[in-house]
């Protein structure tokens, strides 16, 4: 790749975080101001960037067109497949990809556990939002009005003795999920199956899907399950990046 092409791409990546001046871009990319200006003028001519009224540069209309075309061709199941397989291999447990469908979640993909004792589920199956790890992690990231519409009136349907059937208990759990970045299904959907789930963000940062690692309690105890959360969150973030999500950066 030529230096000019690489620098132009780096400029676009930097501008994705917000408008910048020529000097700011030069410092961050470690290139001379005249080089930055030359590249920016070329990008501006092609409408990849535009100049704001205060003289800074930001992404232009052509970038939005390209982004829309790229996102149209993205398939969450295809984007997630490799990461699900890797997570299944690393943990040895059942891995699911699920998404919001109406007022429930639907399992889009599954990697089977390598243990003889495993949970029963299948691709295309529907499950409740309030009683599953995937459902709860999606609920936690929804706007309050949308959450209210999906949940409806309490008490919520009881699946097991551990199901959270009242709104106060569920809301407290959703707050914990937002703080720590993952959800725990503590035998709330099936009597002997617990799971952890993490959000998958799309290009706009929305959470309409999630992945989970599930295991029977006789195969993996609570501490062992919680020990998988770092790998789980890393896999969910990697899928999000495949879909166009960019994690926040600190400078």
pLDDT digits (tens, 9 = 90+) for 92-117: 999 999 998 888 999 999 999 877 65
Task: List pLDDT tens digits, range 25-79.
Answer: 888 888 788 887 888 888 888 888 888 888 888 888 777 666 655 544 458 888 9
**Which tens digit of pLDDT belongs to each residue from 131-172?**
999 999 999 999 989 999 999 999 999 999 999 999 999 999
60, 44 contact by CB (below 8 A): yes
Pick from 83, 51, 80, 47: which is nearest to 66 by CA? 47
Task: Say which CATH class 3-72 falls into.
Answer: mainly alpha
CB 222 within 8 A of CB 213: no
Q: Flag whether pLDDT at 1 surpasses 50.
A: no
* CB neighbour burial string for 90-119, b if at least 16 within 10 angstroms, e if fewer: ebebbbbbbbbeeebbbbbbbbebeeeebb
Domain boundaries, the chain: 3-72, 76-242
Does 212 have pLDDT greater than 90? yes
pTM of the model: 0.72
Q: Output the pLDDT for position 251.
A: 45
Q: What share of the chain is helix, strand, coil (3-state, %, to 5)?
A: 45, 20, 35
Q: Do domains 3-72 and 76-242 have the same CATH topology?
A: no
pLDDT confidence of residue 151: 94
Q: Is 201 exposed, middle or buried (0-12, 13-18, 19+ CB in 10 A)?
A: buried
Q: Which residue has the tokens 């000097």?
A: 23
Mean pLDDT of the chain: 88
Residue 55 buriedness (CB in 10 A; 0-12 / 13-18 / 19+): exposed
Bond before 216 cis per omega within 30 degrees: no
Q: What is the pLDDT of residues 54-63, one digit of tens each?
A: 888 888 877 7
Collapsing DSSP to helix, strand or coil, 180 comes out as helix
Strand duo 193-201 + 49-51: pairing: unpaired
Percent of the chain with pLDDT over 90: 54
Q: Which two tokens stand for residue 32?
A: 């001379």
Read off the pLDDT band of 21 (50, 70, 90).
confident
Match 């299904």 to its residue by tokens. 185
Distances (CA, A) of 244 to 98, 131, 203: 18, 29, 4
pLDDT of residue 73: 46
Distances, alpha carbon 182 to alpha carbons 58, 186, 210, in Å: 34, 13, 10
We find that the CATH architecture of domain 76-242 is 2-Layer Sandwich (3.30)
């Amino acid at each position: 790749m030529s230096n000019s092409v690489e620098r132009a791409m780096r400029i676009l990546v930097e501008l994705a975080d917000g408008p910048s001046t020529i000097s700011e871009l030069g410092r961050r990319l470690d290139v001379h101001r005249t080089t930055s200006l030359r590249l920016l003028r070329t990008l501006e001519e092609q409408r990849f960037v535009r100049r704001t009224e205060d003289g800074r540069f930001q992404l232009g209309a052509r970038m939005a067109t390209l982004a829309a075309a790229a996102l149209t061709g993205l398939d969450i199941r295809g984007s997630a497949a490799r990461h699900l397989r890797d997570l299944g291999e690393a943990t040895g447990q059942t891995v699911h990809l699920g998404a919001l469908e109406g007022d429930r979640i639907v399992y889009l993909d599954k990697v089977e556990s390598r243990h003889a004792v495993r949970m029963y589920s299948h691709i295309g199956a529907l499950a409740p939002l309030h009683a599953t790890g995937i459902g709860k992690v999606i609920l936690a990231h929804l706007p309050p009005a949308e959450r209210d519409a999906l949940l409806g009136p309490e008490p919520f349907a009881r699946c097991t003795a551990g199901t959270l059937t009242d709104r106060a208990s569920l809301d407290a759990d959703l707050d914990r999920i937002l703080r720590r970045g993952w959800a725990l299904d503590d035998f709330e959907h099936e009597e002997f199956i617990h799971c952890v789930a993490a959000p998958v963000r799309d290009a706009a940062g929305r959470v309409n899907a999630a992945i989970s690692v599930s295991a029977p309690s006789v195969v993996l105890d609570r501490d062992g399950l919680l020990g998988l959360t770092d790998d789980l969150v890393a896999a969910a973030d990697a899928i999000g990046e495949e879909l166009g999500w960019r994690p926040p950066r600190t400078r």
